[in-house]
Structure 1
Amino acid sequence: MTSMTRLSRRALLIGTAASATLAGFAPLRADQAAPAVAGAPPSPPVDRWQALARIADGALLRPSDADFATQALPNNLRFRHVRPEAIVRCRTPQMVADVLSWCQDYEMPFVLRGGGHSYAGFSTTRGLLVDMSAMNAIDYDPATGRARVGAGALNQNIYDSLRQAGRMMTHGRCPTVGVAGFVLGGGIGFNMRRLGLASDRLVASEIVTADGRVRALSATEEPDLFWAIRGGGGGNFGVSTSFTFDTAPADAQLTVFRLVWRQNTLAVARALFAALDDAPVTLGTRISFSGVTPTLHAGGRQVAVTLLGQFAGPKEQLDTLLRPVMAAAAPEFSDIRELPYWDAQAFLLEPGAPAWYRERSAFLDTAPSDAFLDKAFEHLVRWPGTGAHGDLFFFQTGGRINEVAPAASAFVHRASRWLSVVGVSWSEDDTVRPEIVRAAKDWQDALYRTVDHAGGHGAFINFPDASLAEWRARYYGANLPRLAALKAKVDPANLFSFPQAI
């Protein structure tokens, strides 16, 4: 049955008790009348931060606290100057509800943060930062094969727990990414072609909505909300506090690989897409092409091609799949290993340290054509350069993802075979030279248009892009009307609001 805990208003939590304490007497019982005190001055109003501190019970950080600057820093350093007035680390769903009540009572803007990796800075604010990291418990039930994951858990917490249980699910590679943002947008990873999106493995969840209810969600409880959180994006409908996933037995042996080509790379790129596009769902890959700065390399360096991924099969079968690619050119670097599943994930891990970056995504329903690759490579060799890099990369989708109907969950992109991303990053030195960053973004926008002209459509909500003009249609497609109607129903006052909120 759905849990219907009602949001505690500030007056109930702190108003009577706090005012009484400040006045020096205990709060009244319901059967008592207030004594008349002639000429007594009115009780002073409760300071808003004192009020929040009572709710937070030791979990409130203000700018004067020693750990504040570290905790406020986002992963995308483009937004490091956006600092909150305070950070509250929620420990329970009821505490989340009480904090939301406080925000409404004091008209305090807020954002939600799990791992703090929002590409567009949507987990930064000048108001209150509601941090979920304390709600990171993970419980695995061997009888059902299900794992209940707190909304504040990071990928690293999931890795550690599932390794111990001998299980796996669709997960990311960066250990500091939060599970909430990851799964609410769908959740991609090298397991997605054989296991589906992370949200496809979700069987239950819990969320605190704007009315203060702590709601249990599943296919039978609050099914509309359960539909919406599976791909509808983080922060639109409430504060998710837990997720329950179906897991699968972890592979005893997995083949992982990282290969880099620097010669004859256009031919390699064509061969890669031809070889991998119809590969079995047990293969998960990412193909990346790096930009080349002409002034630094004088035309003597080609676009580098990197293949990264995993194959649930022996190395010999992977070698057979890649034979046509090897015929185009031998890789300059090759590292292929057979490892137990979680050791293999350590090989694939991406640290994801804080940096300055911007990414733009689009889905492709067919593999990139030769004509598109010609144009893309021409653009890649005109990368203007920063203190970091510019890239075009492709995550291989399809498989089990496409077995689910577009309307079956909020994640609508069910026909794609590849997810393309144009990414740029820059260094701290570049931040004082805005012309360098501007040139990199212009280069990125032009390459992104090339992707669109080649059949790119939609955009991945987990890679939010503040520069998208038609972001609602691109993120949600035909599912937008249903999402908008549900948003109006569960959050009529638009409490959960950010620049790209539904």
Structure 2
Amino acid sequence: MAHRKSPARIAKDARIAHFQSLATRQAAPNAPGATLTWDAVAALEAKLVGRIVLPSSPDYNAARQESNPAFQAYPEIIVYCACEHDVLECLAVARTYNLWVAVRCGGHSTAGYSVNSGMVVDLSDLKGVVLDPPRERVHVLPGTDFDHFNGAMNHTGWHVPTGACGSVCVGGFVQGGGYGYTSRAFGIQSDLVESFRVALANGSIVTASAQENPGLYWAMRGGTGGNFGVLLQVTYRMHRLDQVWAWAISWDAAHAAEVLTTMQAHYMKTGAPDALGYMMNLGYQNSTPVYMVQGMFCGTRDEGMKAIARLMAIPSAQLLVDKTGTYPDMNIWLEDHPYTLPDNLPDGVAETKACGYISTPLSTADWQRIIDYFKTSPNPWSLAYLEPYGGAINRYPVADSAFIHRHVDADLVVDVFWTNDTERAQMEAWLDGFMNLVKPFLNGHVYQNYPDASLQDFAQAYWGPAYPQLQQVKAQYDPGNFFHFQQSVRLPQK
């Protein structure tokens, strides 16, 4: 058989040769203060199956950009890893040259923590899903986005809860908990994790499970990514779920406060069956406020209609979605039906997000004040929504993972969008006003998958009483604080 180089290897050889040629002309590959040499870059490229992107690369600006253009960082080097060995090579170089490492899967960190000014270890090419039905398990690589994850599970009869956004990847999502339409039925996604495979700062790879490295296993289920190591693989326990019923209801403005009062009383901690999952949305369609709930029921249409009967009895209720199918198919369907919210966003629009957990009953008058404030949004892109808890989420023992948000009604989330600095100041001031209005009803905690860089006491907000234990795990598995960022877990003070 003839021995021929693959096209990928030919392209890699060209990149290596280019870096080596530059070594004779420039001391460092990047701006002043850079630590890497061209020889080091060439050597790393030669060891990788993946590829390197530098500030001088043609695709650098696209590669450095997060999903939210509000965050503009300029890494010294971006490495697209294609296998576990690539990750280990990156960590070795980062240790040698004292590079600050950020780990990125989908680039959806709401505080921009997926990039930095040092080395970005990008795992988006590490994607794959392997089902093991006899053991009721599924093995997933960290760069697998939900479009691929759900697609691989589609029509198999097996299920793991995922988020609604198809471009979000497993690696970051699961380490922050992971909420989806079926979480009330099956739990936060991290509750279904049987084990993690993790690359540590010292270059070793370990398994984290209830039996092996149980402290790390506890911490990585809610402790958020980029704190303890690089996630290489997740093994989940699967559930049987052949079909779901997708549904959506809208109401007139006059009945929106009654709807929210009814939902909090009967569709969160108590009342609704676990099989019912949903999001309540306040948004704008063609610049007109929309009051809508959309969700899934893990059962038949008839059972689902019984579950939402109280909501359908509220005057002006309109059933806008009434469709049965697989979870992946219905997840896609609900992206566009009955509305796409937020609506008509321009290209390049940036986002600011804030959230908090509701654990106090609100009166109808309280909800009406929130609705009235929402209608004052300076632009027609703002979105406020409730992610209801209860069911399997609240039953999971608080102490069994670092995801502590169990005894709450719902996560209230507000997104604002802007295109320039003037509009940003205006929208963020409006957002601050919204959060001040609802503050009396919040418990002070924040969903760690929606990080907020402005939080004064982020450790208390994300992890509360679990934080000291997280610090002990940090000290055990990353004693040199190799993995760090603005809101990372701090080493305990000696």
TM interval, shorter chain, is 0.7 to 0.9
CA distance in 1, matches of 2:90, 2:57: 20
Task: Pick the aligned partner of 1:244 from 222, 232, 235.
Answer: 235
CA distance in 2, matches of 1:322, 1:181: 33
Task: Give how far 1:402 is off.
Answer: 1.4
Alignment of 1:35-50 (within 5 A): 47-50=39-42
**Other-structure match for 1:261:** 251
Going from structure 1 to structure 2, the CA distance change for 1:152 and 1:354 (only over 3 Å counts) comes to: farther
Q: 1:374 is aligned with what amino acid?
A: Q
**Other-structure match for 1:5:** none
Query: Is the Cα–Cα contact under 8 Å of residues 209 and 490 in structure 1 kept in the other structure?
Result: yes
Task: Give how far 1:99 is off.
Answer: 0.8
Instruction: Tell me, yes or no, if structure 1 residue 422 matches structure 2 residue 421.
Output: no
Task: Give how far 1:60 is off.
Answer: 1.3
Instruction: Tell me, yes or no, if structure 1 residue 289 matches structure 2 residue 282.
Output: yes
Alignment of 1:410-489 (within 5 A): 410-426=402-418, 428=419, 431=420, 434-489=421-476
Going from structure 1 to structure 2, the CA distance change for 1:316 and 1:263 (only over 3 Å counts) comes to: farther
Instruction: Tell me, yes or no, if structure 1 residue 196 matches structure 2 residue 182.
Output: no
Q: 263-272 or 229-238: which moved more?
A: 263-272
Q: 1:260 is aligned with what amino acid?
A: S
SS in 1 for 2:70: helix
Query: Is the Cα–Cα contact under 8 Å of residues 358 and 408 in structure 2 kept in the other structure?
Result: yes
Alignment of 1:2-151 (within 5 A): 47-57=39-49, 59-79=51-71, 81-151=72-142
CA distance in 2, matches of 1:456, 1:56: 47
Task: Give how far 1:355 is off.
Answer: 4.3
Going from structure 1 to structure 2, the CA distance change for 1:443 and 1:456 (only over 3 Å counts) comes to: farther
Gap regions ≥5 residues in structure 2:
1-19, 22-36, 490-494
SS in 2 for 1:50: helix
Query: Is the Cα–Cα contact under 8 Å of residues 447 and 462 in structure 2 kept in the other structure?
Result: yes
Give CA deviations for 1:329-379 in whole Å, capped at 9, x if unaligned. Answer: 224671221223332222124799974111111112355432421321231
Q: Give the fraction of aligned pairs with identical amino acids, expressed as a percent.
A: 28
What's the TM-score once normalised by structure 2's chain length?
0.84
Runs of 4 or more, structure 1, over 6 Å off, are 350-354
Gap regions ≥5 residues in structure 1:
1-20, 23-44
Q: 2:312 is aligned with what amino acid?
A: M
Query: Is the Cα–Cα contact under 8 Å of residues 247 and 319 in structure 2 kept in the other structure?
Result: no
CA distance in 1, matches of 2:281, 2:335: 16
**Other-structure match for 2:16:** none
CA distance in 1, matches of 2:231, 2:446: 23
CA distance in 1, matches of 2:384, 2:331: 23
Task: Give how far 1:151 is off.
Answer: 1.2
Query: Is the Cα–Cα contact under 8 Å of residues 357 and 411 in structure 2 kept in the other structure?
Result: yes
Q: 1:390 is aligned with what amino acid?
A: S
Instruction: Tell me, yes or no, if structure 1 residue 329 matches structure 2 residue 315.
Output: yes
**Other-structure match for 1:187:** 178
CA distance in 1, matches of 2:284, 2:38: 57
CA distance in 1, matches of 2:348, 2:401: 32
**Other-structure match for 2:24:** none
| Higher Cα Rg, which structure | 1
Task: Give how far 1:422 is off.
Answer: 1.7
Q: How many residues align structurally?
A: 445
What's the TM-score once normalised by structure 1's chain length?
0.83
CA distance in 2, matches of 1:48, 1:285: 51
CA distance in 1, matches of 2:448, 2:165: 17
Instruction: Tell me, yes or no, if structure 1 residue 314 matches structure 2 residue 314.
Output: no
SS in 2 for 1:170: coil
Task: Give how far 1:311 is off.
Answer: 0.9
Instruction: Tell me, yes or no, if structure 1 residue 342 matches structure 2 residue 328.
Output: yes
Q: 1:59 is aligned with what amino acid?
A: R
Q: 1:470 is aligned with what amino acid?
A: D
Task: Pick the aligned partner of 1:400 from 365, 380, 392.
Answer: 392
SS in 2 for 1:375: helix
SS in 1 for 2:399: coil
Q: 343-352 or 417-426: which moved more?
A: 343-352
CA distance in 2, matches of 1:83, 1:251: 45
Instruction: Tell me, yes or no, if structure 1 residue 495 matches structure 2 residue 482.
Output: yes
Query: Is the Cα–Cα contact under 8 Å of residues 275 and 321 in structure 1 kept in the other structure?
Result: no
Q: 468-477 or 45-54: which moved more?
A: 45-54
Q: 1:361 is aligned with what amino acid?
A: C
SS in 1 for 2:397: coil
Q: 1:359 is aligned with what amino acid?
A: K
CA distance in 2, matches of 1:86, 1:354: 24
Query: Is the Cα–Cα contact under 8 Å of residues 360 and 463 in structure 1 kept in the other structure?
Result: yes
Task: Give how far 1:94 is off.
Answer: 2.9
CA distance in 1, matches of 2:442, 2:365: 12
Q: 2:476 is aligned with what amino acid?
A: K
Task: Pick the aligned partner of 1:370 from 340, 364, 373.
Answer: 364
**Other-structure match for 2:28:** none
